């Protein structure tokens, strides 16, 4: 790992939180993600199951954690499973964790090798009444691939058909949505890296630079600051391409007079930052660009004012939509008649703002949590309204990350330039320095 090792107390506390939610005399088993093949003998880069990471801090493939708080033998009440080091494999792929390292990262004292876990599970499972198994229940899941967690569920049900089974994901959705102050500190580190990278970019952007050069700068700055890399595919969209929400081709030239939408964030210690800024390629917004940008910033600030405990994401999105209608009328995108005669199921503002305003943020950039349950203190959300105008070949989005408190929220990105004046001033300052 490139990042400095996190405090194991984060993962110790997370396991305690999960165990408190388990039924009496139950066992919970979490397995790592697959190593996915690409072509030939190559593999895609490994990405850990974030539920397993949340419980252990371990990023290694072929790992597991077993939680059995009522096990008669205290030694086996929490067990970390690691792949046995193999000299030949390590010559090719690098060193794997030893027992002491596994304990240092996770705080788990009992480490067993993967090739011995079947025999041990046979004993433990028969002592338990209920088995918690994990699957991906993120409501944005959009794949039918039978990943390791789903295959493991099928295997366990075939081997132990008479046990009761419970959804670990139901507990995870509840717990992971609420971030501890220690977790927020790690998110804040990812945000700091993102902040410094954005400031660097403001001195790099100019007419003639390509989107992929900007993306390369992002990656370079992230790695220099110990980030694992981007938390997701960076969106670097100049001109009309900014209207494509998940534009990742990043292969065009940024032109004078255009705006550049950049949606990117660092991953540090497994946790994600998620920033969007829209800036003028030439360093100065036009009158119309400024007008639309300020309307978007108004929506951002309005959303910030109402995202509080008690409201659901669905209710909050509807309220922002009503405010968007007012702003779009002010800047000439909608008329009073458009709003009066709109289809309630497809409001008029949706022509210019066609995505949600917020999502949970944490170990996954679209982190666990529901959009229908009330917002709670401790959750971390993005706030990211956008305005996309096909007729003007213009797209603007503004996004910060917020930690919800009992009475409102804390803007974790409050120090990052966001107003027209701040962006123009910073771009002018760094441009002068660059010329010197």
Of the candidates 114, 143, 174, which is a domain's last residue?
Answer: 174
In a domain, 34, yes or no: yes
* CATH at 304: 3.90.230.10
Query: Residue ranges of the alpha helices (H) in 22-68?
Result: 50-56
Residue 152 is assigned to a structural domain of this protein: yes
280-316 confidence digits (pLDDT tens)? 999 999 999 999 999 999 999 999 999 999 999 999 9
The model's pLDDT over 70-111, given as tens digits with 9 standing for 90+, comes to 999 999 999 999 999 999 889 988 999 999 999 999 999 999
Buried b (16+ CB within 10 A) or exposed e, 392-417: eebbbbbbbbbbbeeeebeebbeebb
Checking if the pLDDT of 41 tops 90, the result is no
Shared-domain flag, residues 76 and 206: no
For the chain, the domain total comes to 2
Same domain, 229 and 326: yes
Query: Tell me, what CATH number does 64's domain have?
Result: 3.40.350.10
pTM, 2 dp: 0.95
| Cα(197)–Cα(225) distance, integer angstroms | 9
The reply to whether 4 falls in a domain is: no
Are residues 219 and 72 both part of a single domain? Answer: no
Asked if residue 2 is part of any domain, the answer here is: no
Q: What's the mean pLDDT in 354-372?
A: 94
Query: Does residue 1 form part of some domain?
Result: no
Q: What percent of the chain has pLDDT over 90?
A: 89
Q: Has residue 336 been placed in a domain?
A: yes
Q: Do residues 154 and 208 both lie within one domain?
A: no
> Closest by alpha carbon to 256, among 238, 281, 279?
281
Ordered DSSP codes for 127-181: H-SEEEE-----TT-------HHHHHHHHHHHH-TTSEEEEHHHHHHHHHTS--H
Distance of alpha carbon 431 from its chain centroid, rounded?
32
pLDDT tens digit sequence for 349-361 = 999 999 999 999 9
Domain final position from 174, 198, 217: 174
**C-alpha closest to that of 132 among 87, 182, 184, 175:** 175
Answer yes or no: do 207 and 80 share one domain.
no
Final residue in a domain of this structure, among 150, 174, 198:
174
pLDDT single digits (tens) 318-343 = 999 999 999 999 999 999 999 999 99
Looking at residue 431, its pLDDT comes to 74
| Residue in 423, 429, 424 with CA at minimum distance from that of residue 398 | 423
- Is residue 13 domain-shared with residue 104, that is, in the same domain? yes
Confidence of residue 202 (pLDDT cuts 50, 70, 90): very high
Is there a single domain that holds both residue 199 and residue 224? Answer: yes
Q: Confirm whether 3 is domain-assigned.
A: no
Same domain for 150 and 199, yes or no, is no
- Is a pLDDT exceeding 70 seen at residue 253? yes
* pLDDT value, residue 204: 97
Average pLDDT, the chain: 96
Domain that holds residue 353: 181-435
Give the integer Cα–Cα distance in Å for 42 and 51. 26
364 in the same domain as 223: yes
Confidence of residue 37 (pLDDT cuts 50, 70, 90): confident
- Whether residue 107 is contained in a domain is answered as yes
């Amino acid at each position: 790992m490139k990042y400095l090792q996190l405090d194991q107390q984060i993962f110790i506390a997370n396991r305690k939180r999960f165990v408190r939610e388990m039924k009496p005399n139950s066992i919970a088993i979490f397995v790592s993600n697959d190593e996915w093949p690409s072509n030939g003998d190559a593999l895609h880069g490994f990405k850990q199951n974030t539920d397993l990471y949340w419980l252990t801090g371990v990023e290694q493939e072929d790992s597991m954690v077993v939680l059995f708080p009522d096990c008669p033998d205290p030694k086996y009440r929490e067990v970390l499973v690691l792949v046995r080091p193999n000299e030949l494999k390590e010559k090719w792929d690098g060193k794997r964790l030893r027992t002491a390292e596994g304990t240092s990262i996770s705080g788990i004292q009992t480490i067993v090798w993967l090739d011995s876990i079947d025999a041990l599970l046979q004993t433990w499972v028969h002592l338990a009444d209920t088995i918690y198994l994990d699957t991906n229940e993120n409501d944005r899941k959009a794949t039918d691939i039978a990943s390791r967690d789903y295959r493991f569920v099928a295997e366990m049900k075939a081997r132990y058909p008479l046990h009761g089974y419970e959804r670990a994901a139901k507990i995870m959705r509840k717990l992971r949505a609420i971030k501890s102050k220690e977790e927020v500190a790690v998110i804040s580190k990812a945000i700091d890296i993102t902040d410094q990278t954005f400031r660097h970019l403001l001195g790099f952007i100019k007419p003639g630079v390509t989107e992929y050069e900007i993306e390369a700068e992002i990656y370079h700055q992230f790695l220099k600051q110990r980030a694992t890399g981007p938390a997701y595919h960076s969106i670097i969209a100049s001109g009309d391409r900014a209207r494509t929400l998940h534009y990742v081709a990043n292969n065009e030239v940024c032109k004078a007079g255009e705006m550049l939408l950049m949606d990117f964030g660092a991953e540090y210690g497994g946790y994600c930052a998620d920033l969007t800024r829209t800036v003028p390629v030439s360093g100065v917004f036009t009158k119309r660009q400024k007008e639309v940008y300020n309307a978007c910033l108004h929506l951002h600030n309005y959303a910030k004012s109402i995202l509080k405990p008690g409201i659901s994401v669905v209710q909050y999105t509807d309220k922002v939509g009503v405010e968007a209608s007012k702003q779009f009328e002010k800047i000439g995108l909608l008329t009073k008649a458009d709003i009066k005669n709109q289809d309630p199921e497809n409001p008029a503002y949706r022509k210019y703002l066609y995505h949600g305003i917020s999502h949970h943020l944490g170990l996954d950039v679209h982190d666990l949590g529901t959009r229908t349950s009330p917002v709670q203190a401790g959750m971390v959300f993005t706030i990211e309204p956008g305005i996309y105008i096909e007729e003007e070949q213009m797209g603007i989005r503004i996004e910060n990350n917020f930690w919800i408190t009992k009475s409102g929220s804390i803007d974790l990105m409050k120090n990052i330039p966001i107003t027209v004046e701040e962006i123009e001033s910073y771009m002018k300052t760094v441009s002068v320095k660059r010329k010197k």
